[in-house]
Amino acid sequence: MSLFGTHDEDTLQVWKGDTRNQEDLDPSMFEGVTHVICCTGTTAFPSRRWDGENTPQRVDWEGVRNLVATLPPTLERFVLVSSVGVTKSTELPWSIMNLFGVLKYKKKGEDFLCYSGVPFTIIRAGRLTDGPYTSYDLNTLLKATAGKRRAVLIGQGDKLVGEVSRLVVAEACIQAMDLECTKGQIYEINSVEGEGPGSDPEKWRELFRAAYMQ
């Protein structure tokens, strides 16, 4: 639980559950919950992260399915973090990333959510930069950071190619939760050089609206 640092248990409650196992998801943990962000994932290529059946099929497909199926009908918004390239898994360079099915299974998770009836927003992230450096990937090896790339590009149609800061993805999820214009929408997101929207709700609203109007 060190990820959350020191926190007030009256305002933040931490529940442990394994989304890969339906029986491990106690519906009581969602009592009174109106918004959910799902950012579970594993490595695209076989690694020690796959130990214990922590594979793309179990995490990105079955895990998302199990979580969505457990949510109460009163949920107001479910935000899912996915990946750019999920609709192009048979095309280069995405076919290389999808050699072990990570894009295929992320797309299956997306599709299940879209047809579930749960109010949703999907954020497809580019290659992730910035910490925490917990994955066995190039970002961790290089300790890659966004640096001056604080501006945000948001698109639709799975057309964006690039990288994005984990901080930007997190802020996009938080902002999207309460924006009516993002309901039922799928976006791609990248970080580029320049000043970004920070935590300004109006700037994020305009970014999401502009993507929808393209």
The rounded distance, in Å, linking the Cα atoms of 63 and 198 is 31
pLDDT at 179 exceeding the cut of 90: yes
CB 176 within 8 A of CB 139: no
- As separate numbers, helices (DSSP H) first and strands (DSSP E) second, the chain gives 7, 7
Enumerate domains of the chain plus CATH numbers.
33-213 (3.40.50.720)
Q: Across the chain, which distance is largest between two alpha carbons, in Å?
A: 49
DSSP single-letter state for residue 3:
G
- For residue 79, the model assigns a pLDDT of 98
Instruction: Read off the pTM.
Output: 0.88
More confident residue, 199 or 110: 110
CB 158 within 8 A of CB 122: no
pLDDT at 5 exceeding the cut of 70: no
Contacts of 58 (CB under 8 A, 6+ apart): 20
pLDDT at 175 exceeding the cut of 80: yes
pLDDT, one tens digit per residue, over 150-165 is 789 999 999 998 889 8
The rounded distance, in Å, linking the Cα atoms of 123 and 144 is 21
- For residue 61, the model assigns a pLDDT of 97
Mean pLDDT of 87-94: 92
